[in-house]
Amino acid sequence: MGIRENVKCLLREIPEDVILVAAAKTRTPQEVLEAVEAGIKVIGENYVQEAERAFELVGKKAEWHFIGHLQRNKVKRAVRIFDMIQTVDSFDIAREIDKRCAQIGKVMSVLCEVNIADERTKWGVKAEEVEELVRSISPLRYIKVMGLMTMGPYSEDPERLRPYFKKMREIFEKMKKMDIPNVEMRYLSMGMSDSYYIAIEEGANIVRIGTKIFGPRRYK
């Protein structure tokens, strides 16, 4: 099946109140455009430079979410393109986003990235550190915390991820009840090609899907 059929199929399957982000890493601008023309509203990019190339072709036909690990020296360029940064995991990077957004008069929606299985190889803050991070960011005027994101561990059997998704949901609900000023716990971003249906069952309202839209990645 092609990109168009894959997108149509996913949009039929996924509940209307769940946002489908097309994870576009390694795809050409033409492929990204094809996904958008098939009905994708949000594109997820891991690399600023790749996003800039796709943005030249696709522009504002879709929203742009940053889902990779953001380096400080890329923030200035990132804030120009992206509507949301899903991977904030330190006060330091939040402060840089705030500073660069202040310069262009933009308030950036962000999600805080949680390393829910506490893996050494993953970015994100530990479950116990989420509240502290969110509270530290909340006074920044050019950032609005809109929820949480996680990659989750890799497993051959996606059912094994369910307990981690459940734990994310618990943290999300707990943070929501705290009513922290300038924080709106609206989005829970979790689930990828092989786990999105489980993530949705456990409360995800953003899923990030690459392979199931574009096919296997071709690494150069």
Ligand X SMILES: *Cc1c(COP(=O)(O)O)cnc(C)c1O
- Total residues at interface with ligand X (CB under 6 A): 12
Q: Which of 28, 138, 182, 193 binds ligand X (CB under 6 A)?
A: 193
Question: Which class for 128: exposed (0-12), middle (13-18), buried (19 or more C-beta within 10 A)?
Answer: exposed
Query: Using CB under 6 A, which of the segments 30-38, 159-167, 173-181, 207-215 binds ligand X?
Result: 207-215
Contacts to ligand X from residues 85-124, by CB under 6 A: none
Q: Which of 28, 31, 46, 138 binds ligand X (CB under 6 A)?
A: 46
Which residue in the shown chain puts its C-beta closest to ligand X?
Answer: 210
Tell me how far, at minimum, the Cβ of 182 lies from ligand X, in Å: 25
> CA-to-CA distance for 121 and 107, rounded, in angstroms?
31
User: Would you count residue 25 as binding ligand X (CB under 6 A)?
Assistant: yes
Residue closest to 78 by CA, chosen among 58, 105, 50, 118 = 50
> CA-to-CA distance for 159 and 75, rounded, in angstroms?
36
> CA-to-CA distance for 179 and 67, rounded, in angstroms?
25
State phi, psi for 208 to the nearest 5 degrees: -115, 110
Tell me how far, at minimum, the Cβ of 102 lies from ligand X, in Å: 27
Q: Which of 71, 103, 155, 211 binds ligand X (CB under 6 A)?
A: 211
Structure tokens at 64: 């742009």
Residues that bind ligand X (CB under 6 A): 23, 25, 46, 67, 151, 192-193, 208-212
